[in-house]
Amino acid sequence: MKASFTSRLLVGLWFVAAHFVGASVHAQVVSNVAANLNAPLEVVQFGENDTLRDFVGEYLGNPELWPYVLQLNRIASPADIRPGLSLRLPLQQVRAADAALSGSLRAIQNATAEGAQVFAPREIGDAIESRDSAIAQREIGEWRQVVDLSNLSTLLAQEALRIAIAQRYRSA
């Protein structure tokens, strides 16, 4: 059964509005993330009962980043870490990277829920690949790369969503 002109018009208007609102929200998020990436490093004191791995895991979300923290603070060896030592950490940068990763996951999930695997397999596949690359960059502390790749993933997923909705609408 063919959709009525009114229902087709409403779907079209919804799609245009969603696109512009989504683009505006995405631009604001990108702006906030950029500010966080340029934030100064924060100083955190190493505690008496802390282990380096636990400390790094707590603040950076990945205990395997301990060599990164040593390098960032120009410390030669974990043996040089003592209670009371102040360490500079990229806390805002980590928050920005994690927020970008979360946003890309939500965009992929939304596109997938609307049938992107069927209607836009290349675009959703590229979105997933870009997010996987962002995760790999997070594992080595490349925060700006995490954000850039996550933003690319989000845009690709949004395009996959647009295609999926348009294809579903055409086949209705």
Do 82 and 159 fall within a single domain? no
- Give the closest residue to 145 by CA, choosing from 109, 107, 96, 102: 96
pLDDT above 80: residue 157: yes
Residue pair 69/56 in contact (Cβ under 8 Å)? The answer is yes
Residue pair 103/148 in contact (Cβ under 8 Å)? The answer is no
Do 133 and 151 fall within a single domain? yes
Do 140 and 114 fall within a single domain? yes
* Residue 147: band (very low, low, confident or very high) from pLDDT cuts 50, 70, 90: very high
Kindly state the helix (H) or strand (E) to which residue 91 belongs, with its residue range: helix 91-113
Nearest-angstrom CA–CA distance, 168 and 163: 8
Do 29 and 103 fall within a single domain? yes
Do 134 and 52 fall within a single domain? no
Residue-number span of the structural domain to which 66 is assigned: 42-89
Do 22 and 54 fall within a single domain? no
Do 135 and 157 fall within a single domain? yes
* Residue 21: band (very low, low, confident or very high) from pLDDT cuts 50, 70, 90: low
> Domain boundary residue among 51, 71, 89?
89
Do 30 and 103 fall within a single domain? yes
DSSP string for 8-74: HHHHHHHHHHHHHHHHHHHHHHHHHHHHHHTSPPEEEEPPTT--HHHHHHHHHS-GGGHHHHHHHTT
> Domain boundary residue among 71, 89, 107?
89
Do 82 and 25 fall within a single domain? no
DSSP string for 92-148: HHHHHHHHHHHHHHHHHHHHHHTTHHHH-HHHHHHHHHHHHHHHHHHTTT-HHHHHH
Q: What six digits make up the tokens of 159?
A: 């395009």
Do 97 and 24 fall within a single domain? yes
CATH number at residue 61: 3.10.350.10
* Residue 171: band (very low, low, confident or very high) from pLDDT cuts 50, 70, 90: confident
pLDDT above 80: residue 114: yes
Per-residue pLDDT reduced to its tens digit, 81-113: 999 999 999 999 999 999 999 999 999 999 999
In degrees, rounded to 5, the angle at the alpha carbon of residue 140 between the alpha carbons of residues 77 and 70 is: 20
Q: What is the pTM (predicted TM-score) of this model?
A: 0.78
Q: For the chain, how many structural domains are there in total? A: 2
User: What is the radius of gyration, based on Cα positions, of the chain?
Assistant: 21
Do 99 and 152 fall within a single domain? yes
Do 25 and 48 fall within a single domain? no
